[in-house]
Amino acid sequence: MNKLLNKLQGDSPQEILRNATEISSGIVFSTSFGKEDQVITDIIAKNQFNIDIFTLDTGRLFEETYQVFDRTVKKYKLEINTYYPKTDRVEELVTKKGPYSFYDSVENRKECCGIRKIEPLQRAIKGKNIWVTGLRAEQSENRQHMTQVEWDEVNKIVKIHPLFHWSKQELEEYIEKNNVPVNSLHKKGYPSIGCSSCTRPIVDGEDERAGRWWWESSKKECGLHQTK
């Protein structure tokens, strides 16, 4: 496994993704249409990498997220496979606990994330060998403990974070230079955008993930990416 992980390293996101496609044809990239994900989509499209792109539609996304989704599809002429939560599980959750149970406890919030995000994710990566994400170490203290290429023991898959060592400045420079479409909410103080009910703008001095699940003092993760 260590030899495989070493082969997936690279000096640039393009090199990392190219190395991945030379090793495996079973590669998927998960996008939530944040700035990092949009940069990776741009790289995949321009290099015509054989990487399937998917997104998780929880049913509670911002309208602005759908707008950038539409702009992305039209600009890059790529199919983005969309996975929704199972209707019966959402119906059962809302019937028994109401539409905002996730505000009541961390356990309830993780239950909602499990239904709306984790289960659809497992369907999206099933049978795949490599999962590409847009994580950056700078986004939060939790993510600094991760590595650019790693083994996800929970999902039994290799994960690659091509932009892991990029700074915010590098990200912004790439977006401007390449005219990458971005979510209009970023200009309104939303650096990290998830479900509309669980995301708020951040204030000066907060890390980029502070606006996610702001009412709790957890690690600010939904369970898609396990952190130490």
Tell me, yes or no, whether 69 lies in a domain. yes
Q: Residue 227: its pLDDT value, please?
A: 46
Q: Where is average pLDDT lowest: 78-87, 117-126, 148-157?
A: 148-157
Structural domains counted in the chain? 1
Tell me, yes or no, whether 218 lies in a domain. no
Q: Residue 141: its pLDDT value, please?
A: 62
Question: How far is the C-alpha of 221 from the C-alpha of 228, rounded, in Å?
Answer: 11
Known catalytic residue at 222: yes
Query: Average pLDDT of 97-108?
Result: 96
Which pLDDT band, with edges at 50, 70 and 90, does 195 fall under? very high
From 112, 113, 195, 222, active-site residue? 222
pLDDT digits 0-9 by tens, 27-39 = 999 999 999 999 9
Q: Residue 224: its pLDDT value, please?
A: 64
- The larger pLDDT score, comparing residue 70 to residue 5, is at 70
Q: Where is average pLDDT lowest: 36-40, 61-65, 173-177, 213-217?
A: 213-217
Q: Residue 142: its pLDDT value, please?
A: 59
Query: Helices 35-47 and 63-76: crossing angle, nearest 10°?
Result: 10
Q: Which domain holds residue 82?
A: 2-187
Yes or no: say if 158 and 8 are a contact pair by the CB < 8 Å rule: yes
Q: Residue 52: its pLDDT value, please?
A: 97
Residues above pLDDT 90, as percent of the chain: 79
Tell me, yes or no, whether 228 lies in a domain. no
Tell me, yes or no, whether 221 lies in a domain. no
Tell me, yes or no, whether 216 lies in a domain. no
**Rg, the chain, Cα only:** 17
Backbone angles phi, psi at 29, to 5 degrees: -120, 125
Q: Residue 75: its pLDDT value, please?
A: 98
Tell me, yes or no, whether 150 lies in a domain. yes
Tell me, yes or no, whether 70 lies in a domain. yes
Which pLDDT band, with edges at 50, 70 and 90, does 21 fall under? very high
Tell me, yes or no, whether 130 lies in a domain. yes
CATH number of the domain residue 157 falls in: 3.40.50.620
Residues 6 or more apart from 156 whose CB is under 8 A from it?
A: none
